[in-house]
Amino acid sequence: MSYPNSETDLTSEAMPDPEALTHRIEFTSKRIQYSDATKPCATCRRSHKNALAHAEPGVVVPPEPVCTYDEATTTHASTHDGPKSRYERLENRINELESLLRQQDDGTGQSPPQQHTPASVGSSIAHSPQNPLPTASNSPTSTENTFVNVPPLQYSAMPSTTMSDPVLMGAASAFPPPYPNLPPAADPLPTVISHPPHQVPTPPQEDMGFLFELLWPSWPARLPPPDLLHHLVDVFFNVHPHANRILHRSTFQAALSLSPTSPDFPRLCVLHAICAAASFYTTLVRQPPLPDWQKQPYKLIFRRLNDEPSFGELHARYAHEAQGEAVQAGHIFETVQSDVILSWFYFTHGKWVEVWVASGDAIRNTIPLGLHLTDPTTSFVRGGKRITLLPPAKDSVEDETRRSTFWLAYAVERFQAVGNGWATSVDDKSISQTFPALLDNFQRGIGVPLKGRQRMNSKDILTYHPVDQTDSFTLYVKSSILLSRVKNFNSSFPLNQEALDSLAAPDQHPQHVDPRSTAEFQKIEAQIWAFRLNVPNHLRNPIVNNTVDGHLLAAYFTQYTSIILLHNPHTDHRDITCVSTQKILTAVRGTLEYVYALCNTSFDLTLLDPSISTSFLMAATEIIRIARARKEAGLMEEALSMRNDFDVIKYAMSRMAERLPIAARHVAMIDRSLEEFEAPVGAVMGAIEDFENACRTDVQGAAADTFVPFHTYAILQDATTPN
């Protein structure tokens, strides 16, 4: 058989007769044979002759050949019509089929199965009923969780040539749609939908059968199907507060459009971590329902009694397992990104041991990569160079991605350290990294020279904020440095025997030295209060016209949280003249100012950084301690006023608790504090002793058996202090 070898061969004379090609033979063989358009055709005559010659005894062979073929639907002349006429015939045929489907739909009352293609990813979210945000008349403690929509999904990464193949689409019609509830594009801005997450089944990948393997033969088995993965990635970038800093969106999505076998395809550990973090914000995956705090023992407030892992927990486990493969392949930086994202996931769940391990791994792994230094090749030793496992960055985008990843690892490690008494993993004195570039420059890929930029060891980084180098994320990072300095002082000062001896009076025991009289304490406190004095004017208010800047709000909440942490060990709430109590009360009132502003907006508080829930918890704990002290002193009017402020903080936390488990647990904790406020003094002290013994869980058990952070014992310390 000859094949055309040039463009001149591809003519109508060189092609077979189109009518002859339509005549198919359906004989005893299972093969499809083609005839010469005669009746009967030569193939059937040969087959009939062979059957007569070799017929077995008892087998009746028809006297004439039986030739079956498709009748030509058009004349021979019409087959040579131009493409326009052929398209018209196809459109007419499609209209006929659609008409038949509509008639069938009217007759059965059921809609035909929807094909799961990128172009038809449904329309349920855009038309789903909307739940209003909680108001004074709409209780924030509703058990029905609300989730946000995301902007329209981009499915350019899907193999469009395959999905548009009519043969494959015809084969796909024989199978049920894999995701009947998959939503399509939504409004550009996040809105709220009313489907509780635990009522939406997780679509299993194996249900797609061989069709999935046919369309995506090299797709990793543990990853969600491509359309669900793209949805989760879009959700992650659209609603997570830090997503656009740890990854460059356009670069990452371009890599995600490649084949999974490509070396530039994103690492699996990062993709699994994104699936876990994004699972909070979509109804397409199942979320475990929050426990009933009335039935679950209070000592298990941070434990999950259900052993069945959720979608997010399963992919967090997959991310950890994929990290080993990434390290072996030399992709250590991607494991740092994965650990940071997993730290956010664990923090949101209140899994304190897991977040301590993940954040510690992330910040420690930045050291051999040289991410803690502005220039890792610079050496302080003559003739030597620092060793880094990372090659030089290819461009400014990769360089800023590394820098932002380090600061996010630093921030999450410092924020989680608030909840325990352990030392931080990396000392601030060993860090000399430059602060991140402005978000607009990072997203547009504009390189910013390192010369003149502030870095960790620059002077007055906490009190001086250059306009051309500062945005809300920069202040967020600097606020974590405030927490770090408070944390280091509180944990190291009692151990500094030399400083204690030098400060102690001749007749005073070193352990009785008041840290508030030291120069270091006063310096840290002055830096905290001066943090916002030189903030650029456009960054002074995080809430403007119903719009909330999450990073800026978290930075200002952290400023007040730092004051509470600094003075908490030295306060006496029963003494109205106590300086530390007055400063804590000032910090609580500063927190309340933003809480009131938040409650007056329709902003979805579940989109805020989960560290804000910790700030709410500490402010609520302190104000209820002070209110109880005022109540015991007979100042009922002041105590009731503080009690009302407590309710406002609880309301804001309840709005966060609609989606974030850590906020739901914090609400349960402050409810217990409120019970202690309402109870008589003697009963309160007895309940506090029981609570303190119950909360000291054995940390050496399973990782899920986490303990309550030490700052939540503030109310216990006050009640058990002897008069």
Instruction: Quote the CA–CA distance of 503 and 517 in Å, as a whole number.
Output: 9
Looking up tokens 């398209």, which residue turns up? 87
Instruction: Quote the CA–CA distance of 144 and 198 in Å, as a whole number.
Output: 10
Which residues fall within 8 angstroms of residue 580, CB to CB, at 6 or more apart? 516, 567, 568, 570, 571, 572
Please report, rounded to a whole number, the percentage of residues in the chain having pLDDT higher than 70. Answer: 64
Structure confidence at residue 561 (pLDDT) = 95
Residues 494 and 548: beta-carbon distance below 8 Å: no
Is residue 674 classed exposed, middle or buried when 0-12, 13-18 and 19+ CB atoms within 10 A define those classes?
Answer: middle
Q: How confident is the model at residue 90 (pLDDT cuts 50, 70, 90)?
A: confident
Structure confidence at residue 298 (pLDDT) = 52
Which residues fall within 8 angstroms of residue 162, CB to CB, at 6 or more apart? 168, 215
Structure confidence at residue 212 (pLDDT) = 62
Q: Mean pLDDT lowest for which of 76-85, 93-102, 540-549?
A: 76-85
Q: How far is CA 463 from CA 129, 372, 504, 556, 627, in A?
A: 47, 22, 31, 13, 33
Higher-pLDDT residue of 626 and 699 is 626
Instruction: Quote the CA–CA distance of 184 and 280 in Å, as a whole number.
Output: 18
Mean pLDDT of 382-409: 86
Q: How far apart are the first and last CA of the chain?
A: 106
Q: How confident is the model at residue 546 (pLDDT cuts 50, 70, 90)?
A: confident
Domain segments of the chain: what residues? Answer: 220-420, 459-501+514-693
Q: How confident is the model at residue 35 (pLDDT cuts 50, 70, 90)?
A: low
Instruction: Quote the CA–CA distance of 412 and 423 in Å, as a whole number.
Output: 14
Instruction: Quote the CA–CA distance of 171 and 210 in Å, as a whole number.
Output: 11
Structure confidence at residue 150 (pLDDT) = 36
What pTM does this model have?
Answer: 0.68
Mean pLDDT of 651-657: 93
Residues 490 and 561: beta-carbon distance below 8 Å: no
The per-residue pLDDT of the chain, averaged, comes to: 74
SS3 content of the chain, % helix, strand, coil (to 5): 55, 0, 45
Q: How confident is the model at residue 46 (pLDDT cuts 50, 70, 90)?
A: confident
3-state secondary structure 475-494: HHHHHHHHHHHHHHHHHHHH
Mean pLDDT of 441-463: 92
Whether pLDDT at 227 is above 80: yes
Which residues fall within 8 angstroms of residue 440, CB to CB, at 6 or more apart? 446
Mean pLDDT of 23-32: 42
Pairing of strands 147-148, 547-548: unpaired
Question: Which two tokens mark 15?
Answer: 């092609």
Q: Which of 563, 554, 390, 600 is nearest to 489 (CA)?
A: 563
Whether pLDDT at 106 is above 50: yes
Structure confidence at residue 149 (pLDDT) = 37
Looking up tokens 């570039």, which residue turns up? 437
Amino acid residing at 641: S
Question: Which two tokens mark 198?
Answer: 């635990």
- Quick one: which H or E segment has residue 148? strand 147-148
Is residue 361 classed exposed, middle or buried when 0-12, 13-18 and 19+ CB atoms within 10 A define those classes?
Answer: buried
Q: Mean pLDDT lowest for which of 34-48, 207-221, 246-260, 485-499?
A: 207-221
Q: How confident is the model at residue 717 (pLDDT cuts 50, 70, 90)?
A: very low
Whether pLDDT at 226 is above 50: yes
Higher-pLDDT residue of 661 and 14 is 661
Q: How far is CA 694 from CA 81, 258, 297, 361, 621, in A?
A: 85, 52, 10, 30, 19
Question: Which two tokens mark 629?
Answer: 């002290």
Tally DSSP H helices, then E strands, for the chain: 25, 6
Looking up tokens 């709220």, which residue turns up? 192
Mean pLDDT of 252-274: 95
Q: How confident is the model at residue 87 (pLDDT cuts 50, 70, 90)?
A: confident
Backbone angles phi, psi at 233, to 5 degrees: -65, -45
Whether pLDDT at 456 is above 50: yes
Higher-pLDDT residue of 279 and 198 is 279
Q: Which of 717, 631, 643, 723 is nearest to 680 (CA)?
A: 631
Pairing of strands 192-193, 147-148: antiparallel
Question: Which two tokens mark 361?
Answer: 């791994």
Question: Which two tokens mark 465?
Answer: 């904020």
Q: What is the number of other CB atoms lying within 10 angstroms of the CB of residue 690?
A: 11
Longest CA–CA span in the chain (Å) reads 128
Mean pLDDT of 176-202: 36
Q: How confident is the model at residue 587 (pLDDT cuts 50, 70, 90)?
A: very high
Whether pLDDT at 408 is above 80: yes
Whether pLDDT at 640 is above 60: yes
Residues 20 and 37: beta-carbon distance below 8 Å: yes
Mean pLDDT of 159-183: 34
pLDDT tens readout for residues 286-304 = 777 776 665 665 555 555 5
Structure confidence at residue 324 (pLDDT) = 92
